[in-house]
């Protein structure tokens, strides 16, 4: 029975046509925006719009199901009642308003991430305050809300003028026919839930085309359903004993010895020299791609301070982030572990009392701190760092209750804040807090390790006026330039402190400014800067080897000649025999790049092996079983250790 055959269902059918039409228009808009990143062929266009229509039908089925259920239960004699009229108009208006907001959100999300809704959108729904504030500061929210209400009102008026509401109030479809329509929609929805996953759109060779073929709302709920990925269920496996044997072989390095056999990577590292124990301040910079720096080809002079530091200190020329979100960078820098599928360990249950970088510093007598310019409640940062022995300093709305964390929390006072936006205080104010905290620890006579996380290089890209050439809020370039400026001011102030000469400063990005590219994992979009400054007795040098964020601290410990117990996957990349490799991932895809061999592990036990060209950022399919086995071993054992308590501190 077609919904058009009865007046009751003309409104329902009109809504379906409206949604599919608007969704197709949105898909066409995204395609035009992304023309530079897709291969515009007839087959490709047909796949985009054909698969897209399939997903749109699924979304329509879910949207129409509640109204179809209502019509099923509504007695025919009530069709013209005031109750039905009011409820129908209200339901239509609210549902259409939700669609308008979802389309707007999709558009902004595509501009930011080059993809349909994914797990990031799910996370953003959890942290409503920060996201709403960010939108309010990035866009004229009152104007947008008014526009959405006006558009929804116009659509409602158009449907009323076309007589669709009047038809709905005069319909008299028999119960059995209403039951048949409801059953058809219910069956369609069940087919989508059980058999049609978002992966159906991911069969192409161009990531942008795959994303265009999806539907935003469908992608959102798909990400919501799959927020946790069990590696053992979805990825290619080998025997656990074999996996650990392969991983241990890869992790073996000069001066190390394994402490346990079997399912363990714990080993003792010999520093091979006289230990030095300087203070260490790690500055993790929000969204700083390597290609913002002149050293890596930028000509806009956005980072004169960082470029100057790179010319005078130790710089990693081929370091790659493990992921595309802040919590992934934090995970890599605090745990030195490859990215496991699903949410970062920072955000997972059971992430307390782990064998972190901070635990190694504390074993050497250091005080450890986490300093963040925003609200550490966001992305579970305070819980993770607090329950792993760090003192916490942040500017947040959420106070620690009782003994929830193992360390105390200090709130940055309002008197020390001169500028803030949705994501936190400006970098200058954060660095003032870092200087004050370092001075206090120095006066107590303890060496210190501080993990600092900045926020200024983040949408809405606002910062104090008059500091850089670009006006506040004008875009990414200004935020990068301000980020660099604040680093210069920080170091200038630090040089006046009595602890400066014995303090190592590290500047590294958490991830790049964008990750979208032609390939699902676009290697060039993971390249980040990393500079170690003020090393004792060190001169300018560069590390040209391909390496990962997880290698930063093992390399630093080697430079300081530390003996220590390691439960880290990171390695000292200066060691003779180190085989250049990097770990990169998205929420579902796990990549392993060894020299020019690239392996990508995906759900459904899919393994792709390719040759990667650094010259033109291209990926060519080849067969490479040896590198694939190493990739599987690394990721399988990392997941195994976290799930079975193997990452716990001794």
The CA-atom distances, in angstroms, between 153 and each of 92, 157, 474 are: 10, 6, 33
Structure tokens at 626: 């040896």
User: How confident is the model over 582-641, as pLDDT tens digits?
Assistant: 999 988 899 999 999 999 998 878 999 999 999 999 999 998 888 999 999 999 999 999
647/315 Cα distance (integer angstroms): 29
Within 8 A by CB and 6+ apart from 337, the residues are 331, 345, 550, 568, 569, 638, 642, 647
Q: Burial level of 414, CB count in 10 A (0-12/13-18/19+)?
A: exposed
Q: State mean pLDDT over 32-39.
A: 89
pLDDT beyond 80 at 424: yes
pLDDT beyond 90 at 56: yes
Q: Are the CB atoms for 394 and 374 separated by under 8 Å? A: yes
User: How confident is the model over 477-504, as pLDDT tens digits?
Assistant: 999 999 999 999 999 999 999 999 999 9
Least confident interval from 186-200, 228-242, 502-516, 549-563: 228-242
339/550 Cα distance (integer angstroms): 10
How would residue 227 be classed by pLDDT, with cut points 50, 70 and 90? low
pLDDT beyond 70 at 339: yes
Number of Cβ within a 10 Å radius of residue 488: 15
The CA-atom distances, in angstroms, between 576 and each of 213, 252, 571 are: 47, 11, 11
Q: State mean pLDDT over 100-127.
A: 79
Number of Cβ within a 10 Å radius of residue 389: 21
Within 8 A by CB and 6+ apart from 412, the residues are 373, 393, 394, 395, 425, 429, 430, 433
pLDDT at residue 517 in the model: 66
pLDDT at residue 170 in the model: 87
Within 8 A by CB and 6+ apart from 343, the residues are 119, 227, 228, 327
Within 8 A by CB and 6+ apart from 456, the residues are 286, 373, 426, 427, 463, 479, 482, 483, 486
pLDDT beyond 70 at 259: yes
Please give the residue that has the higher pLDDT: either 128 or 413.
413
Structure tokens at 251: 């992790």
Nearest by Cα to 337 from 259, 231, 409? 231
pLDDT at residue 300 in the model: 96
pLDDT beyond 90 at 401: no
* H or E element, residue 191: helix 175-195
Q: Are the CB atoms for 169 and 86 separated by under 8 Å? A: no
Q: Are the CB atoms for 392 and 409 separated by under 8 Å? A: yes
Please give the residue that has the higher pLDDT: either 54 or 76.
54
Q: Are the CB atoms for 155 and 147 separated by under 8 Å? A: no
Q: Provide the mean pLDDT of the chain.
A: 91
pLDDT at residue 512 in the model: 94
Q: Burial level of 86, CB count in 10 A (0-12/13-18/19+)?
A: exposed
DSSP string computed for 36-82? GGS---HHHHHHHHHHHHHHHHHHHHHHHHHHHHHHHHS-GGGTTSH
pTM confidence score: 0.78
Q: State mean pLDDT over 334-348.
A: 92
User: How confident is the model over 265-306, as pLDDT tens digits?
Assistant: 999 999 988 999 999 999 999 999 999 999 999 999 999 999
Torsion 88-89-93-94 (CA) sign: negative
Q: State mean pLDDT over 76-104.
A: 93
Please give the residue that has the higher pLDDT: either 225 or 523.
523
Q: State mean pLDDT over 550-574.
A: 97
569/583 Cα distance (integer angstroms): 10
Please give the residue that has the higher pLDDT: either 230 or 585.
585
The CA-atom distances, in angstroms, between 291 and each of 30, 103, 297 are: 25, 32, 6
How would residue 220 be classed by pLDDT, with cut points 50, 70 and 90? confident
Indicate the domain borders of the chain: 3-225, 275-580+637-643
Q: How many residues does the chain have?
A: 650
Q: Burial level of 154, CB count in 10 A (0-12/13-18/19+)?
A: exposed
Residue whose tokens read 């399939």: 54
Q: State mean pLDDT over 419-432.
A: 93
Q: What angle do CA 68, 73, 76 make, to 5 degrees?
A: 100
pLDDT at residue 563 in the model: 96
For domain 275-580+637-643, give its CATH number from 3.40.50.150, 3.40.50.300, 3.40.720.10, 3.60.20.10: 3.40.720.10
pLDDT beyond 60 at 2: no
Q: State mean pLDDT over 561-585.
A: 95
Q: Are the CB atoms for 185 and 65 separated by under 8 Å? A: yes
Nearest by Cα to 595 from 545, 522, 543, 520? 545
pLDDT at residue 377 in the model: 85
């Amino acid at each position: 029975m077609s919904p058009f055959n009865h007046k009751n269902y003309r409104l329902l059918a009109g809504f379906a046509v409206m949604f599919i039409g608007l969704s197709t228009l949105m898909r066409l808009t995204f395609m035009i925006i992304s023309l530079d990143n897709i291969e515009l062929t007839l087959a490709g266009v047909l796949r985009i719009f054909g698969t897209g229509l399939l997903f749109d039908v699924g979304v329509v089925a879910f949207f129409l199901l509640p109204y179809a259920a209502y019509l099923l239960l509504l007695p025919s004699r009530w069709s013209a009642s005031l109750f039905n009229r009011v409820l129908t108009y209200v339901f239509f208006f609210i549902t259409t308003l939700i669609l308008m907001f979802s389309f707007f959100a999709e558009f902004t999300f595509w501009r930011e991430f080059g993809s349909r809704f994914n797990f990031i959108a799910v996370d953003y729904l959890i942290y409503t305050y920060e996201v709403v504030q960010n939108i309010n500061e990035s866009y004229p929210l009152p104007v947008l809300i008014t526009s959405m209400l006006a558009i929804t009102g116009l659509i409602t008026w158009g449907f009323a003028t076309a007589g669709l509401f009047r038809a709905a109030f005069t319909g008299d479809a028999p119960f059995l026919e209403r039951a048949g329509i409801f059953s058809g929609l219910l069956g369609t929805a069940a087919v989508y839930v059980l058999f049609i996953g978002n992966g159906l759109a991911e069969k192409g060779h161009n990531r942008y085309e795959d994303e265009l073929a999806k539907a935003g709302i469908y992608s959102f709920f798909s990400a919501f359903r799959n927020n946790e990925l069990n590696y053992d269920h979805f990825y290619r496996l080998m025997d656990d004993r074999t996996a650990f044997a392969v991983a241990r072989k890869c992790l073996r390095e000069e001066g190390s010895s394994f402490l346990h056999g079997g399912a363990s990577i714990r080993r003792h590292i010999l520093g091979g020299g006289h230990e030095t124990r300087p203070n260490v301040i790690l500055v993790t910079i929000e969204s700083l791609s390597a290609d913002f720096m002149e050293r890596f080809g930028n000509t806009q002079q956005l980072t004169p301070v960082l470029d100057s530091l790179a010319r005078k200190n130790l710089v990693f020329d081929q370091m790659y982030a493990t992921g595309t979100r802040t919590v992934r960078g934090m995970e890599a820098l605090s745990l030195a572990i490859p990215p496991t599928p699903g949410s970062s360990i920072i955000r997972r249950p059971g992430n307390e009392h782990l064998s972190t970088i901070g635990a190694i510093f504390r074993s050497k007598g250091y005080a450890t701190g986490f300093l963040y310019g925003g609200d550490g409640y966001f992305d579970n940062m305070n819980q993770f760092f607090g329950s792993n022995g760090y003192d916490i300093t942040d500017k947040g709305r959420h106070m620690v209750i009782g003994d929830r964390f193992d360390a105390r929390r200090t709130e940055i006072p309002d008197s020390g804040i001169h500028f803030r936006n949705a994501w936190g205080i400006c970098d200058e104010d954060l660095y003032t807090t870092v200087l004050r905290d370092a001075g206090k620890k120095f006066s107590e006579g303890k060496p210190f390790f501080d993990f600092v996380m900045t926020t200024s290089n983040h949408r809405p890209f606002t910062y104090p006026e008059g500091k850089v050439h670009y006006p506040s809020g004008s875009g990414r370039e200004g935020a990068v330039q301000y980020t660099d400026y604040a680093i210069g001011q920080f170091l200038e102030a630090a040089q006046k402190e009595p602890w400066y000469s014995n303090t190592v400063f590290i500047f590294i990005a958490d991830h790049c400014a964008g990750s979208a590219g032609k390939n699902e994992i676009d290697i060039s979009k993971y390249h980040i800067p990393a500079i170690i400054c003020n090393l004792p007795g060190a001169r300018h040098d560069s590390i040209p080897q391909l390496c990962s964020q997880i290698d930063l601290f093992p390399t630093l410990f080697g430079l300081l000649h530390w003996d220590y117990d390691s439960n880290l996957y990171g390695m000292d990349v200066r060691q003779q025999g180190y085989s250049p490799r990097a770990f990169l991932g998205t929420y579902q895809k796990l990549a392993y790049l060894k020299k020019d061999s690239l392996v990508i592990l995906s759900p459904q036990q899919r393994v792709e092996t390719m040759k990667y060209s650094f010259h033109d950022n291209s990926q060519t399919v080849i067969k490479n079983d040896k590198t694939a086995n190493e990739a599987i071993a690394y990721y399988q054992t990392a997941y195994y250790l976290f799930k079975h308590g193997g990452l716990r501190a001794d």
